[in-house]
Amino acid sequence: MMRSGIVIVAAVALAVAGTAARAADPRYPDWPCTQAKVPVISLAAVWAGPALDDAETKWKDDAKISALVSKLSARKTPLDEAEKSVKEFLAGSAADKTANAKLLFAGLFDTLNAQRSQVMSGLERVSRKQREAADKIREETLALQALQGATPRDEAKVEALSNDLIWKTRIFEDRHKVVRFVCEVPTTIDQRLFALGRVIQQEME
């Protein structure tokens, strides 16, 4: 029973090691997601309103705008609630509506792009760790196979290395699941920025 269990562990470990990040795009060897990596959102892709001009730097100087940007860009704020807040804010802006709209969008564009960059950097950092872990699993699997075939066979060493492989494989698989989940985050941020940008532009008309 122990022998067959160890063989299974070795097979699983090799399979896991073989799934270590293979870059879909050679330009980004550490990018672990099936989604294409788009390093930054271009302004033209999400904004068809008037030129932002100095709003791109001045939005931080407005305490009210900064606070609203912080609230709207937080993923814990439901998108429908964020859209409602945009409408309420701009409805009360009267003569300053266009200026405030530009400041608000400039803040969202800056903040959400920064969020994306942070998430993507984290994903690539984990991807590098996964590659290192896969290499270690592969080495230990080969070492386990050698121990299994040795004569005389040291059962204590075989069992110790087998248990170590089980632990490393489990950590690898858990990280892989987390990465798959986090890979959706940049797309979610894109969608939030596009949706809020659309509401802002509609309120300006």
The 10s digit of each residue's pLDDT in 177-187 is: 999 999 999 99
> Residue 136 is inside which H or E element, if any?
helix 97-149
CB 57 within 8 A of CB 168: no
Report how far residue 120's alpha carbon sits from residue 41's, in angstroms, rounded to the nearest whole number.
Answer: 13
Query: For residue range 107-162, what is the model confidence (pLDDT) as tens digits?
Result: 999 999 999 999 999 999 999 999 899 889 888 888 988 988 888 888 899 889 88
Q: Cα separation of 127 and 22, whole Å? A: 10
- Tens digits of per-residue pLDDT, 101-111? 999 999 999 99
Least confident segment among 21-30, 66-75, 195-204:
21-30
How confident is the model over 21-55, as pLDDT tens digits?
455 678 888 999 988 899 988 999 999 988 998 89
pTM for the whole structure: 0.81
Q: 69 with 59: CB under 8 angstroms?
A: yes
User: Which residues touch 143 (CB under 8 Å, ≥6 apart)?
Assistant: 161
DSSP secondary structure string for all residues of 19-33: TS---SSTT-TT---
